[in-house]
Amino acid sequence: MEFFVFVCAALMILLGAVGVIVRKHPVHAALSLVLTLFGVAVLFVAQEAHFLAAVQVIVYAGAIVVLFLFVIMLLGVDRVENLRTEPLTAQRPLAIIASLGLLGVLVAAIVNGNGVLNERGSGINLPDLQNGSDANTVQLAESIFSQYVVAFEVTSVLLVIAVVGTVLLTRKAKLGAK
Amino acid sequence: MISLSLAPTATWYLILAAVLFAIGTLGVLVRRNPLVMFMCIELMLNAVNLSFVTLARELNDINGQTIVFFVMVVAAAEVVVGLGIIVSIMRNRAVLTTDDLAELKG
């Protein structure tokens, strides 16, 4: 059963990822991105990361992709990109070679390191009758708000800075101001 | 021959994440539209998140999932700032390819 889920989710992820880089229209690329993000969320559920799966759907598919679509439509840049002509000759074959090489290095590292990483951590609570159905969320919250509380606060500062900076960047200059 | 009852091991998930990362890299290198390049960066971030969750389950350690939470927040902030920069550049220019943005002056 888990094998079936894995194959379906992997097909979703790979189809969406290929769609992002081959579709000419930016809106189509954004919708392919949604397919990939849902596939990743399915794999999160399959690996007992239930809270992260929910956050993945809400934040990525719900907020980030909508932000992309807003920008595409607000700017009117939804023109079809010409993928036939490549201004830099030999750049595309070199890019394919580089990413295939990167893939080869990563897969070799994964296959070589198989079974090496076997130090056991403190454990992940799986949802069952003893832990309750929200065990993953509870454990993640305990981790974030105790061990990583400083990082959590710094992240909130980062978000505030990002919002203020974006407002400053995209603000139109005042009328009459030099 | 792989039987259908075989449960996928962590290696399968990690290799899937590696393929996703390579596709994202290819997209960043090949595409010329900065919006699509941003989407490809999101693909790479998702590949890393998938690796983190896989290793969190494999090593039985909740910290992997905590890191993914922070990666998601930082990715959201990064997209907001990046799209803001693209919007402010597009105010003054009609075409949007990265070849036209070879100089920092707006």
- The SS3 call for residue A128 is strand
- The pLDDT of A139-167, averaged and rounded, is 92
> Where residue B79 sits, what CATH number does that domain have?
1.10.287.3510
HEC assignment per residue over A82-96: CCCCCCCCCHHHHHH
Could you tell me the pLDDT band of residue A178, with boundaries at 50, 70 and 90? very low
| Total domains present in chain B | 1
Provide the CA B73 distance to its chain's centre, in angstroms: 13
Chain B residue with minimal CA distance to A141?
B66
Could you tell me the pLDDT band of residue A79, with boundaries at 50, 70 and 90? low
Which tens digits make up the pLDDT trace of A86-141?
667 788 889 999 999 999 999 999 888 877 766 666 777 777 767 777 788 888 89
Determine which of B66, B86, B97 to mutate to test the interface with A (most A C-beta atoms within 10 Å): B66
pLDDT for res A82: 65
Which tens digits make up the pLDDT trace of A47-68?
888 999 999 999 988 889 999 9
Q: Is A1-81 assigned to CATH 3.10.310.30?
A: no
Task: Answer with the residue of higher pLDDT: B2 or B85.
Answer: B85
Q: CB neighbours of B51 closer than 8 A, spacing ≥ 6?
A: B13, B14, B17
Domain residue spans of chain A = 1-81, 131-173
Q: Is B79 contained in some domain? A: yes
Chain A positions in Cβ-Cβ contact with residue B60 (cut-off 8 Å): 120-124
Determine which of B9, B41, B42, B55 to mutate to test the interface with A (most A C-beta atoms within 10 Å): B42
- The pLDDT of B27-39, averaged and rounded, is 89
pLDDT for res B11: 86
A114 and B25 within 8 Å at the Cβ level: the answer is no
pLDDT for res A19: 94
Q: Is B64 contained in some domain? A: yes
Nearest by CB to residue B19, choosing from A4, A81, A103, is A103
Which of residues 34 through 73 in chain B touch A, CB cutoff 8 A?
35-36, 38-40, 42-43, 46, 49-50, 53-63, 65-66, 68-70, 72-73
Task: Answer with the residue of higher pLDDT: B67 or A126.
Answer: B67
The domain in which residue B79 lies consists of 32-99
Residue A14 CA to residue B23 CA, distance in Å, equals 9
